[in-house]
Structure 1
Amino acid sequence: MAKEQAAAFPDWHIAVDYVIEHGDKCIVKWTLTRTQTGDYFGYRPSGRKFETSGFDIETIVDGKITAHDGAEDMLGLLQQTGAVPLTFD
């Protein structure tokens, strides 16, 4: 987690939506909720709650994570904060 995000959204809560295991791969789909209480991309604290989703793909060998990949819907977060417009005219 980047320091800027941690400062802007200190109350992170991650809910696991589902987990899929296949061979040495584990896929986790999650939803993250947080409240903006600090500056983010120049936007003053709004006190609003935001929700984004994402996934992680882990490679597990001998009970240890040996590789990681994943993504979060950052565009959705930036649209919710007002940093990026919802539509382009």
Structure 2
Amino acid sequence: MKTQPSLEPRLQRAGRDLEAQLESLFERCPDLWGFSVQDRDNELFVSDVGITPRLSAEQYGDIYEDITKTLAALLDERPEVCELLRARTFARVLH
């Protein structure tokens, strides 16, 4: 995720923190290819988790829990990151 230069400074800083946390998440979860964050009734939830190869329900649950804990911790630290998560899809970057 690249931080957009047109964002106000507080969102640029939040965007850098979000990017760092997502990079760490994808490093910790090598089978995770991507996920979406949806907004329903002003609450965020994780959906469309892409994992390859197919894993057991327990392994999937562990990855899902890691995603939600990572995002929750970031939201606790930087509530403004909510604006950057809403209705977004995040995917692993291949180099």
Q: Same fold (TM over 0.5)?
A: no
The TM-score range, normalised by the shorter chain, is under 0.3
User: Comparing both chains, which one has the higher relative contact order based on Cα–Cα distances under 8 Å and sequence gaps of 6 or more?
Assistant: 2
Greater C-alpha Rg: 1
Greater fraction strand = 1
What TM-score comes out, normalization by structure 1 length? 0.25
